[in-house]
Structure 1
Amino acid sequence: MAYFADLILPLPLDKRFTYSLSDAEAEFICEGMRLAVQFGKNRIYTGIVAKIHQNPPQVYEAKPIHQILDEKPLVSLHQLKFWSWISHYYLCSEGEVMRAALPGAFLLESESIVKLRKNFDFPEEKLNDDEFLVVEALQRQSSMKIQEIQELLDRKSVLPVINLLVEKEVVELNQEIYEQYKPKEVRFVRLRSEFEAEAAMHRLLDELSNAPKQREILLTYFSLTANSRKPLKAKTLCDKSGATSAVLKSLVKKGIFEEYYEQTDRVGFKGETFNKEIIFNKYQQQAFDQIKSYFAEEQVCLLHGVTSSGKTEIYIRLIEDVLKTGKQALYLLPEIALTTQLIKRLQDYFGDKVLVYHSRYSLNERVEVYKHVLSNSEKGQIIIGARSCIFLPFQNLGLIVVDEEHETTFKQFDPAPRYHARDAAVVLAAQFKAAILLGSATPSLESYFNADHNKYALVELNRRYGEVLMPDMEVVDIKTAHRKKKMTGHFSERLIEEIKESLEEEEQVILFQNRRGFSPILECNTCGHSPQCPNCDVSLTYHSHNNQLRCHYCGYHIAMQQKCMACGSDEISTKGFGTEQVETELRALFPDARIARMDQDTTRGKHSYEKIITAFENFETDILVGTQMLTKGLDFRKVNLVGIMNADNLLNFPDFRAHERSFQLMQQVAGRSGRTKKRGKVLIQTYNPYHRIIQQVSTGNFSEMYREQLEERYQYKYPPYFRLIRLTVKSRDFSKTNDAAAWLATALEKVFERFVLGPEFPPVARIRNEYYKNILIKIPQKQSLGKTKAMVHRILSSFGTIAAFRSVRVIINVDPQ
């Protein structure tokens, strides 16, 4: 009887692919294992076994597998079920989910290897210069990788050269599988057993009397191992004896020492735990008891707790309770910046049980975290990290905490799958019958609507911990301040006054400006021209630290222009401002203050977040300027003043969620102020002090904002009353983009009628020389989501058969943010 395996391949293709198995292979292989298989003419990919059966494929003949890569499954059955849900709900392929879910090191791919043909006989004069160079190099070494040939010829496109050599039968191309993950090994040394006796030891020291450095290593070894039987690292021995590794190597060669290697983890906690008991106040206790009772009824629970109300302590106690039952806990955060503070708090409490997982971790570190979670080891009981954590191979998940659940960074934008981690976490929890808690001081309208309509349980925590008062909010009218000449740069008189006072009292200040760079627009005062990005429809942003004009979409940059590029005038001025300009102005206003900046430009390194936050926590920084990275859940004890530099650029954004987001951002950044006994102060600078949202922020009135925004959403048919699917049509050809979008919109209108909006150009209609056009489908509550998606899929299949639109890509985004 023939056996077959259905495989998920890491490709954006809708189907699984079937391969044949021998009887012995079918007996050994099980679902979730990795197999290396040939796909296409000569490419080899890693596939995940999704199903083993005895039905041969109808359309093609099943190929045999290339090799088995695992001894036991790398992907659990829970994961396969979860991948399937994500691919169906977010309208993407399982291969795309697989690429997002597995650390890259597990996705073995073949690499093209170029070799000379055996006994080739080809006249050298018939080879051009590039071909001759490749052949000459291959005569000196047995094979070369494509990358090595690129370096040899100093050019990127080397495939035409290789193809010509293949045609001339000079070289052949082979595929080689390479493994990306390498376990970390540490070198240890020990004295050979024959020298351990005292007499042999003395004889050895006498022999080395003419080699003082070698003798010193030996004496250091005896002193380090005298009272300890622990293995000794080679590096430690060299450091303590002050000798080089070459001296140690010569002792190994003489057969005095022997070296050996042991595998070690790259991830782990090296500090001590301080398992202090968490003492709740009566409001926290009340909230905790309510949450536990809702969990007993298997309900999704939303914790609406004001900033600094002690939500994290509740999360820690819930995690503690789950660990006692032997289950795993997942703590999801929206930003890597936030993990820095929380990791320390959780590791102080739980020690080695906490593992961190996010994109700033190296390939090898992510593999190790994945393996710990898969083996359900003591080390992987609590996982903390950003949205990709939901794809880890949990064995026995008991609790998911989604902190700051309103955050847009939980939504994946590119590449597919374009999932929302909060919504996916709710489904993941249901699969494991695990408890899930969504926490926020400013819940998203959708979550609060679900709680309002009894889909989720709601727990409120309305008081700050330790009876600390909510910050005093003050709105500063900068329109009037400009008119009365009471502005210094972008700082109002009132804000300067408050910063001075805070610095005098040795308190810290946070300033929030939701734009990085120095200035978003450079403008000629003579002709009005501003430099544009040649690849995107945006103006270039000025960065003063490297005196560059830079595009924030594609990375294009040029040197700062001294004259107008259009008319040659030297009257150039900057318009608008970013975090860099705020920092520059602050240094001029407060030359003695220690100022730091936290935005995308200053946090590119792996530990850069940590350095900035730690310096601020240790009071080495007086004023911290930043973008929305600052707004989320950070806890600083000495911050007494928060300044919002310009509230208007948050409000005036072409998006139906702009007002909700503005409220959330301003409330969150205000919550960083006055978290200890003294009442904090928040200053909001705006040109429009009577705007409804500004007023609601200044009074902290969430319920009024919720009711007003809900009314608008109902009127204009937006979530939570209607679901959305956005189709983005993109291509390098402007007219093709237009034609394809028009065809698609017409086809959709025939089915969904008035619930199709567009096609429309987005605010930035060209990025990296590709033109974009959006179509929005609104789905009423009573309309079947499954049938709607099936219809969209059918229309897109028809679209794919039109030859004229072959070069046009359609991106599907379900529940766009």
Structure 2
Amino acid sequence: MLYLLKVLLRDGTSSNDKIATYKLNTDYEVGFSSRVIVRYKMLSQVFGFVFECQPIENDLVEYPFVTNLMDERPLLESEKDLIFFASSYYKVGIFEVLSTILPFNGEVKETRAIYFQAVVPPPLSYLSKLEYELYRKVVGKGEVLASSLGQKNTAAKLVKKGYLRKVYKETESRNLAPLFFDYSLDEEGKNIVEKIENSSKDVVLKISDNRRKFEVYRELIAKRLKEKKSVVLILKSVDRNSLHLSFLRESFKEYMVIFDRVMSNHIKVTEQKKLLDKEAVLVIGTPEIIFYSIPNLDLIICDSAESMVYKMKAAPHINFRKMALEKEHTGKIIMSCYSPTISLRARVEREYYDYIENKEKQKSYKLFDKSDDIFSPQLIEKINEVISKGKQVVIYHSTRGYAPIYKCHICSTIARCPTCDVPLTYYKDDQKLVCLQCGYKRDSEDYTCERCGGDRFDQYGFGTMKIAEKLEEIFPDKKIARLDNDIAKIHEFENELTSFALGYSQILVGNQIVSANLYMPKVDLIIIMDIDWILNRREFDIEEKTYNLLSSLLSQVNENGEAILLTNEKENNVINLLAKQDYDSYYNYALNKRKLLKDPPYYYIVDLVLRGYKRAELESLSSRFIELIRKELEGKRCLIVGPSPISYLGTNRRYSTSTQIKYKDRSEIDSLLERLKVIKLPPEMELDINIDPYVD
């Protein structure tokens, strides 16, 4: 069959679409979203998506032929309206939306566990003290899991020198569900299921009991699959060996299709193709699966619906939970939360959704004073009391590394990143100074003070690495696990969390990763090392994000367990409100504050970020840019905040400034956004339009 195609291509200078015409001769089915490779201008290979196609009888029309058709059938033709809506709402090209869902990159990701083995006898070459100590450590243990070793740079040097070898092992698939789940709902669980089934609207479910929550999910899923209907379950993170997925696999193995961030793009596309031929399926994955074509879709479950994982930080800035509400389906959507966002709860009060709350014992945090040392004697006693009973402890700290401040002993000058001008974090294991913003790093051993030339430095503060080291000193006979962005890849940290849930270690130290919402039945104590930093942050929703984080962490603690929050601000009203974890009191406080400041849900927000390599040019452009915005919005119910002072972003080596528009009615700013979407900027300048830069 011969086709004439309109092909979407990326405009290299913006997020707008380019459309070019090609011919294609194929026996495969072709339609919207079919991926193709074409020649375009001087480029021999350009990726594109079919936008429109029509059969033609002859090839007399003078258009070039498509070089390669990548798909035997279009994968997202049924989701065309949803993709158009995302493009229109977020003011990005259709190509950009499609490439988020159907990437072209087919790289293979390593999903096996990586171990280090010592080479014996070793080669005879020079080793530094750090390298020698690490080599002896691996020799003593015989084999060490790479993610638990921590000293990435030192280990890499030992591999290069031939002292260590990498060994790859498949992760063992374990059926853990029978150890923790009895596959039966209690009375409260049955009441929740009944209320959901009887609801005529989409549902906001407030529930902190992770076990009961997944038993409710199982009951709802079972009914749909029995009726030959499909279900989508969106999770904050996906570990195929987690207790939750083991529980669901035990019941629905033949129906389950799992998408996680470990899968290569090629495998993701392959699995999407299989969905088209199924009658009823349970699709589990991270938020982007909401765009997949799923047959007979009846139920969408958004787990941890308040989480920021639903909102893309980078362009096209899609809010996947909003897309779930727009997606065509026959049944309802369940937005399950530990603590609903303020905007979501406000919509409940306006009767957009039904609100169901799990009846459970209210938990809260006890406020403890910070100590001059990392752990006070009182805190050490608490930890010892818990682990001596065979229970577990989770310690949360937002700062990673060993010490966040590296200060000259002579003149007190702080080591800073030459690119970002933020303090460098000290890493003891590799003797490195690292910028956690842009990734800049250098050896600490040969670093000298830029002000006085001194070579003696003191470390101030502490990160997760130092906390774990201190705990190993205090409890030398206990297994201490550390889990943060430095030590583990995505698939490794999810496996490590599952291992902790099974009791392989007594204490877990980590940052945001430990709030992954897994069922951890042995946790009797959780400690938040620092929360005072939120008092100095300016984001309008920083208190909401912190409340949600604390709620998520609190869900890991047993009903009779204890939660402790360390602070120097025990009398601060906000700190006390967050620690109390009384959602209704917090909601009323936050709603009144946002009404006063004209923040969501009373106003919507769009962030406009200008970026450029030259500060002077950006300042000039920013002045003209703000004049344009004020002129366009004159007389309308909009507030303009900004532009912000120009800052330097070390991550992409550019200056940036942002302007925020608060508006009541989207129609009042839509013409401005359309104009900004296609605006011609000077070379090397970029405008990023972020609509609703929060999880609403």
State the Cα deviation string for residues 506-552 of structure 1 (Å, max 9, x = none). 21110010121112221224323222222223221112221211112
Q: Which has the higher contact order (CA 8 A, sep 6+)?
A: 2
Q: CA deviation at 1:20?
A: 4.7
Cα distance, 1:747–1:643 mapped onto 2, change above 3 Å: same
Cα distance, 1:39–1:307 mapped onto 2, change above 3 Å: same
For residue 227 of structure 2, what is the aligned residue in structure 1? 325
Using the alignment, how far apart are the partners of 1:375 and 1:267 within structure 2? 29
Q: Residues 160-179 of structure 1 correspond to what in structure 2 (within 5 A)? A: none
In the alignment, structure 1 residue 350 sits paired with structure 2 residue 252: yes
In the alignment, structure 1 residue 548 sits paired with structure 2 residue 440: no
For residue 164 of structure 1, what is the aligned residue in structure 2? none
Using the alignment, how far apart are the partners of 1:674 and 1:762 within structure 2? 47
In the alignment, structure 1 residue 420 sits paired with structure 2 residue 422: no
Q: Which amino acid aligns with 2:405?
A: I
Q: Residues 291-302 of structure 1 correspond to what in structure 2 (within 5 A)? A: 291-294=196-199, 297=200, 299-302=201-204
Cα distance, 1:339–1:576 mapped onto 2, change above 3 Å: farther
Using the alignment, how far apart are the partners of 1:664 and 1:441 within structure 2? 7
Q: Which amino acid aligns with 1:569?
A: G
For residue 757 of structure 1, what is the aligned residue in structure 2? 641
Using the alignment, how far apart are the partners of 2:399 and 2:279 within structure 1? 43
SS of the residue corresponding to residue 778 of structure 1 reads: strand
Q: In the alignment, which of 707, 725, 728 is matched to residue 609 of structure 2?
A: 728
Q: In the alignment, which of 697, 709, 712 is matched to residue 590 of structure 2?
A: 709
For residue 816 of structure 1, what is the aligned residue in structure 2? 693
Using the alignment, how far apart are the partners of 1:30 and 1:99 within structure 2? 16
SS of the residue corresponding to residue 756 of structure 1 reads: strand
Q: CA deviation at 1:373?
A: 1.9
Q: Which amino acid aligns with 1:449?
A: A
Using the alignment, how far apart are the partners of 2:475 and 2:175 within structure 1? 38
Q: CA deviation at 1:623?
A: 0.3
SS of the residue corresponding to residue 607 of structure 1 reads: helix
For residue 42 of structure 1, what is the aligned residue in structure 2? 43
Q: Which amino acid aligns with 2:369?
A: D
State the Cα deviation string for residues 386-419 of structure 1 (Å, max 9, x = none). 12222323233221111111111221112x2211
Contact 1:651–1:662 (8 Å) recurs in 2: no
Q: CA deviation at 1:659?
A: 1.1
SS of the residue corresponding to residue 310 of structure 1 reads: helix
Q: In the alignment, which of 507, 517, 522 is matched to residue 406 of structure 2?
A: 522
SS of the residue corresponding to residue 376 of structure 1 reads: coil
Using the alignment, how far apart are the partners of 2:307 and 2:649 within structure 1? 25
Cα distance, 1:15–1:367 mapped onto 2, change above 3 Å: closer
Contact 1:724–1:816 (8 Å) recurs in 2: yes
Structure 2: gaps of 5 or more residues: 110-169
Q: CA deviation at 1:73?
A: 2.2
Q: In the alignment, which of 506, 509, 528 is matched to residue 390 of structure 2?
A: 506
Which structure's residues are more often helix, by fraction? 1
Q: Which amino acid aligns with 1:383?
A: V
Contact 2:10–2:16 (8 Å) recurs in 1: no
Q: In the alignment, which of 14, 31, 46 is matched to residue 16 of structure 2?
A: 14
Using the alignment, how far apart are the partners of 2:436 and 2:304 within structure 1? 26
Q: Residues 73-152 of structure 1 correspond to what in structure 2 (within 5 A)? A: 73-105=73-105
Using the alignment, how far apart are the partners of 2:205 and 2:243 within structure 1? 21
Contact 1:643–1:683 (8 Å) recurs in 2: yes
In the alignment, structure 1 residue 567 sits paired with structure 2 residue 452: yes
For residue 739 of structure 1, what is the aligned residue in structure 2? 620
Moved more, 332-341 or 553-562: 332-341
User: Identity across aligned pairs (percent)?
Assistant: 23
Moved more, 568-577 or 452-461: 568-577
For residue 380 of structure 2, what is the aligned residue in structure 1? 496
Using the alignment, how far apart are the partners of 1:74 and 1:707 within structure 2? 48
Using the alignment, how far apart are the partners of 1:30 and 1:683 within structure 2? 56
State the Cα deviation string for residues 219-278 of structure 1 (Å, max 9, x = none). xxxxxxxxxxxxxxxxxxxxxxxxxxxxxxxxxxxxxxxxxxxxxxx9998979979874
Contact 2:403–2:425 (8 Å) recurs in 1: yes
Q: In the alignment, which of 328, 332, 346 is matched to residue 449 of structure 1?
A: 346
- Greater C-alpha radius of gyration: 1
Q: CA deviation at 1:13?
A: 5.0
TM-score normalised according to structure 2 size: 0.83
Using the alignment, how far apart are the partners of 1:544 and 1:90 within structure 2? 44
Using the alignment, how far apart are the partners of 1:575 and 1:277 within structure 2? 49
For residue 292 of structure 2, what is the aligned residue in structure 1? 392
Structure 1: gaps of 5 or more residues: 56-60, 107-179, 183-265, 464-468
Q: In the alignment, which of 399, 402, 415 is matched to residue 302 of structure 2?
A: 402
Moved more, 555-564 or 615-624: 555-564
RMSD: 3.0
Q: Which amino acid aligns with 2:688?
A: I
Moved more, 736-745 or 562-571: 562-571
In the alignment, structure 1 residue 538 sits paired with structure 2 residue 426: no
In the alignment, structure 1 residue 475 sits paired with structure 2 residue 477: no
SS of the residue corresponding to residue 301 of structure 2 reads: strand
Contact 2:648–2:655 (8 Å) recurs in 1: no
State the Cα deviation string for residues 290-333 of structure 1 (Å, max 9, x = none). 11112xx2x22100123447122111111111212222211112
Contact 1:598–1:629 (8 Å) recurs in 2: yes
Q: CA deviation at 1:102?
A: 0.7
SS of the residue corresponding to residue 678 of structure 2 reads: helix
TM-score normalised according to structure 1 size: 0.71
Cα distance, 1:502–1:29 mapped onto 2, change above 3 Å: closer
For residue 316 of structure 1, what is the aligned residue in structure 2? 218
Cα distance, 1:397–1:651 mapped onto 2, change above 3 Å: farther
Q: CA deviation at 1:471?
A: 4.2
Using the alignment, how far apart are the partners of 1:54 and 1:349 within structure 2? 46
Cα distance, 1:280–1:611 mapped onto 2, change above 3 Å: closer
SS of the residue corresponding to residue 591 of structure 1 reads: coil
Using the alignment, how far apart are the partners of 2:419 and 2:482 within structure 1? 29
Cα distance, 1:768–1:51 mapped onto 2, change above 3 Å: closer
Q: Which amino acid aligns with 1:797?
A: V
Cα distance, 1:323–1:795 mapped onto 2, change above 3 Å: same
Using the alignment, how far apart are the partners of 1:564 and 1:71 within structure 2? 58
SS of the residue corresponding to residue 509 of structure 2 reads: strand
Using the alignment, how far apart are the partners of 1:773 and 1:343 within structure 2? 43
SS of the residue corresponding to residue 50 of structure 2 reads: strand
Q: Residues 535-614 of structure 1 correspond to what in structure 2 (within 5 A)? A: 535-561=419-445, 563-604=448-489, 607-614=491-498
Contact 1:332–1:385 (8 Å) recurs in 2: yes
State the Cα deviation string for residues 66-102 of structure 1 (Å, max 9, x = none). 2462674232322222221111111111111121111
Q: Which amino acid aligns with 2:79?
A: Q
Moved more, 683-692 or 11-20: 11-20
State the Cα deviation string for residues 490-511 of structure 1 (Å, max 9, x = none). 2123211100111221211100
SS of the residue corresponding to residue 64 of structure 1 reads: coil
Q: In the alignment, which of 236, 252, 275 is matched to residue 373 of structure 1?
A: 275
SS of the residue corresponding to residue 608 of structure 2 reads: strand
SS of the residue corresponding to residue 518 of structure 2 reads: coil
Q: CA deviation at 1:103?
A: 3.7
For residue 289 of structure 1, what is the aligned residue in structure 2? 194
Q: CA deviation at 1:62?
A: 7.1
Q: Which amino acid aligns with 2:283?
A: I
Cα distance, 1:510–1:267 mapped onto 2, change above 3 Å: closer
Cα distance, 1:75–1:408 mapped onto 2, change above 3 Å: same
Using the alignment, how far apart are the partners of 1:596 and 1:515 within structure 2? 16
Moved more, 365-374 or 446-455: 365-374
Cα distance, 1:721–1:43 mapped onto 2, change above 3 Å: farther
Cα distance, 1:653–1:763 mapped onto 2, change above 3 Å: farther
Q: CA deviation at 1:737?
A: 1.8
Q: CA deviation at 1:760?
A: 0.4
Using the alignment, how far apart are the partners of 1:618 and 1:26 within structure 2? 52
